[in-house]
Amino acid sequence: MQPLYSVEHETRHNTNHAEEENVERPEENTPLLHRFPQVVTERTPLTMFIVSLLLIILSAGVIIGIYLLVIQNDSENVLPPVENPLQLVSRSQWDPSNEEQSALRSFPYRLRAVTVVHTGTNQCNSTETCTKLLLEVKSNATAANSTVGYNFLISSNGQTYEYLGWLKCIPQSTKTTTPTGLLLAFIGNFTETPPNTRQLETAKKFFAASESQQYLHPSYRLFGKNVNDTPPILGQSLKIFPQWSNEFSDKK
C-alpha cells in the first residue's frame, strides 16, 4: 500500500505543473519593443525654427572659415607689385672723358625748383643712339665756347642720362624772379608732338628719387623756360604733375 504523503505530494506537484502550463506565454514572434512604452516627441514650430537656425549658423561658420583660409593663402602667395626703378645712365657710362668744368658751381642743399625743357634735337631710343647724340650736343657746345647746362636728360625709351648731375649747375648771368634749380631736358623736339608716356613716367620717377635722396625739397616746384625751350605742347604735358607752376624760370 502506497504511503499517503507520497500521493498528496504527487497530486500537489501535478496541480502546480498544470497551473504553470495554463499561464499564457507570449508568442515567440512578438517583438520585444512592445514590452516598453513608446515615447513620441511632438515637433513644434518653435523647435523646428531653433534647429534650422542652428544649422544655418553652423553652415555660415564653416563657409566663413573656408573663405578666410582661401584669402589668407592667396595673400601669402601674391607678391606685391614691383615698380621698375629709375634707369639711370651715369655720365661715366656714356662720356668716359667727363672733363671737369671750372665754370660749374655747387648746388645748395635741397633745391626747391626744377626747370623742364626739351633739347630741340632728334629723339633717341637706345643707349647707343643716345650716347652718340649726347656726345654731339657736348661737342657743339664746346665748339660754340659754351657749356651744356642740363643736369639730366630723359630719352624716348625711358632712360635718364646724367649730364651735370644733382650737385652742379651753371651760374646764371642774369637775375631771375624764379630759381632755376635742376635743369631736366626731354630729348627730342616737342613743338608739335608731346613726349610719350614712357618719358613722362620716367620724369615722375626722377622727381621721386630726387626728393627721396634729399636733392629736392618736398615743396619743390616745376617751371618752364621761355617758349623756345619749353614749347606749349610740352607745358601741357607737364600739367599732370601737381608741382607744375605754369611759369617760366627766366621770367623777368
User: Would 172 be classed as within a structural domain?
Assistant: yes
Domain tally for the chain? Answer: 1
Joined together, the cell numbers standing for residue 48 give 523646428
Q: Nearest 5°: CA angle at 207, between 203 and 210?
A: 135
Quick check: 94 and 152 in contact, CB under 8 A? no
DSSP structural state of residue 43: -
Quick check: 197 and 163 in contact, CB under 8 A? no
DSSP structural state of residue 32: G
What is the residue range of 217's domain? 88-98+116-248
User: Would 201 be classed as within a structural domain?
Assistant: yes
Tell me which amino acid residue 97 is: S
pLDDT at res. 45: 81
Here the CATH number for the domain that contains residue 232 is 3.40.80.10
pLDDT at res. 75: 57
pLDDT in tens, the chain (252 residues): 545 445 455 555 555 555 555 545 555 555 555 555 555 556 688 888 888 888 899 888 889 989 888 877 765 555 454 556 889 999 999 998 876 554 556 666 688 899 999 999 999 999 999 999 999 999 998 887 777 889 999 999 999 999 999 888 766 544 544 456 899 999 999 999 999 999 999 999 999 999 999 999 999 999 998 889 999 999 999 999 999 987 776 665
DSSP structural state of residue 28: T
User: Would 41 be classed as within a structural domain?
Assistant: no
DSSP string covering 59-88, please?
Answer: HHHHHHHHHHHHHHHHHHHSPPPPPPPP-E
φ, ψ of residue 107 to 5 degrees: the values are: -80, 150
User: Would 134 be classed as within a structural domain?
Assistant: yes
User: Would 207 be classed as within a structural domain?
Assistant: yes
User: Would 147 be classed as within a structural domain?
Assistant: yes
Q: Rounded to an integer, what distance in angstroms lies between the CA atom of residue 138 and that of residue 145?
A: 11
Q: In a 10 Å sphere around its CB, with 0-12 CB exposed, 13-18 middle and 19+ buried, how is residue 138 labelled?
A: middle
Q: Comparing C-alpha atoms, which of 190, 175, 201, 200 is closest to residue 230?
A: 190
User: Would 239 be classed as within a structural domain?
Assistant: yes
φ, ψ of residue 209 to 5 degrees: the values are: -65, -40
User: What's the pTM?
Assistant: 0.64
User: Would 16 be classed as within a structural domain?
Assistant: no
Buried-exposed string 30-49: b where 16+ CB fall within 10 A, e elsewhere: eeeeeeeeeeeeeeeeeeee
